[in-house]
Amino acid sequence: MQFTPGQVKEVLGISEETLRYWRRVLPGFAGRKGYAPCFGFHDVVCLRLVKDICGILGVQVSKMIPAFPDLRSIVTQSIVSEPEVWFLSFDPATESVGKLRAEELAEAIDRPVAIIPGSALMAEVRSKLLGVEDIKQPSLPFPLIGLPGIRRG
């Protein structure tokens, strides 16, 4: 599913100028112009993480440029992997990001880093974009059985 720049601005709560600037400087967004749907879910989650890192920590967006490919990779892998609680760490000294699981948090804090709850943020973005909470597929109320005479293939 693709989202328009207007939808992205609304979900992130940013101005058109901010989105235009981010599209120009962050790797992977340079060729995306106009108002057509051009942002995937992972793009919106990445931009939300950038917004939090820059807005809360006061980091300039230009400091995120070296870390952005790793950020995209972390988010993309987290979307397709099993649902788990994960956190994003951002080290302002090295301008790098990393993915941490809940059990890794205590040992990861040996230097000043920002920790952002990635899985919770991803669920929030999904809810805002789709207007629904996480939907779990219910289990079948009856067991699967094979039907005689039915050929598969």
* Predicted TM-score (pTM) of this structure: 0.78
Confidence category of residue 69, pLDDT binned at 50, 70, 90: very high
Give the position of tokens 């992205």: 8
Task: Read off the pLDDT of residues 21-68 as tens digits, 9 standing for 90 and up.
Answer: 999 999 888 766 666 768 999 999 999 999 999 988 888 999 889 999
Q: For residue 108, what are its two tokens?
A: 């990861």
pLDDT, averaged across the chain: 82
Helix, strand, coil % over all residues of the chain, rounded to 5: 45, 10, 40
* Mean pLDDT along residues 3-15: 92
35: which 2 tokens?
A: 């108002």
Residues 116-136 have a mean pLDDT of 79
CA angle 121, 110, 76 (to 5 degrees): 30
**Which residues are bridge partners to 91 per DSSP?**
96
